[in-house]
Amino acid sequence: MKKYLFTFFWVCLVITGYAQEQNGNIYGVAFYNLENLFDTIHDEGKKDYEYLPEGRNKWDNTKYQSKLKNMSTVLGLLATDKTSEGAAVIGMAEVENRHVLEDLLKQPALANRGYEIIHYEGPDERGVDCAFFYNPKLYTVTATKLVPYVLAQPTDRPTRGFLIADGRLAGERVAFIVNHWPSRGAASSARERAGMQVRALKDSLQRLDSKIKIVIMGDMNDDPMDKSMAEALGAKRNMKNVKKGDLYNPWWNTLAEGEGTLKYRGKWNLFDQIVFTGNFLNKRHKKLSYLNHEIFRRDFLIQADGKYKGYPLRTQAGGRWMNGYSDHLPTVVFFIKKR
């Protein structure tokens, strides 16, 4: 009897969820670390030598074109299980320059999407930046800027800043902050500094407009429960503890269930997170509201055999060309607004 009751309630939940989706417009918000999307040309002042034809990776046009094809395939599929238009916006990390973004949008999988680019050249020594694609039919941009990461010491190595896009989604003001925090090679305090700085940016936007909705996305190089995310940024696990101006992080439970976006020594991490302010938590969906979230995991993105079976299928590993995608999996959050 219990089994039948469970099945009945599960079916009811599925039907209810489907009905909600049918009665509202859905917007996909995605993030993807593209793992070293470099062209084959040296950028003056940047240490991009390993991604040149004569460099360690023998990065020639054949490899570059294959990388573009693979990345565009994934980006073109994001959010299409819920909306035919694909993701309304996509934040990205590890892109070399605007040129590679323009080449990416020329690929068949993205050419008809109409995405526009937000990108600023950042201070990273290798030349990897954050970037942002948006569909202007869905998201109208009113302002953009790159806010520098403030170093602990002036002599510290420069790192990626925080890319901000401000505009309107579904008729409501929504700001996006795209991040790529210092790597695990740096002390945890470097990422905690990033968390505090992004929190200050969020707070300043809210002081100017108490109704603004804010989405913070990126490769944080930390998991949801790490100090940089849970304390410095202040992204909370439980909805019931999230007030209007607070941040909700839906990825805590995802990681606890054994899912992640990258794998290290056989263990999943979930560095690629999309968190958002509490004013998205509106169950009635009369305003733009959180619906659900997913790690975009598909079989073709996962290595099928060998030592790293079950890991994300990389472009290359150990100097060997894999013709894969990225060492990270993309993440997507879906928002809904009733018609």
Q: How confident is the model at residue 244, as a pLDDT?
A: 83
Give the global pTM.
0.93
Single out the residue of 196, 158, 199 nearest to residue 177, CA to CA. 199
Q: Is the pLDDT of residue 17 over 90?
A: no
> H or E segment at 245?
none
Does domain 25-338 bear CATH number 3.40.50.720?
Answer: no
> Distance between CA atoms of 141 and 139, rounded to whole angstroms?
6
**What does the radius of gyration of the chain's CA atoms come to, in whole angstroms?**
20
CA atoms within 13 A on the CB side of 153: 4
pLDDT digits (tens, 9 = 90+) for 148-178: 999 999 999 999 999 999 999 999 999 999 9
Could you tell me the residue ranges of all domains in the chain? 25-338
Residue 254: how many other CB atoms lie within 10 Å = 20
Tokens 């101006």 correspond to what residue?
A: 245
pLDDT digits (tens, 9 = 90+) for 297-322: 999 999 999 999 999 999 998 889 99
> Is residue 318 within 8 Å of 7, Cβ to Cβ?
no
Tokens 């995991």 correspond to what residue?
A: 297
Beta bridge partners of 312: 302
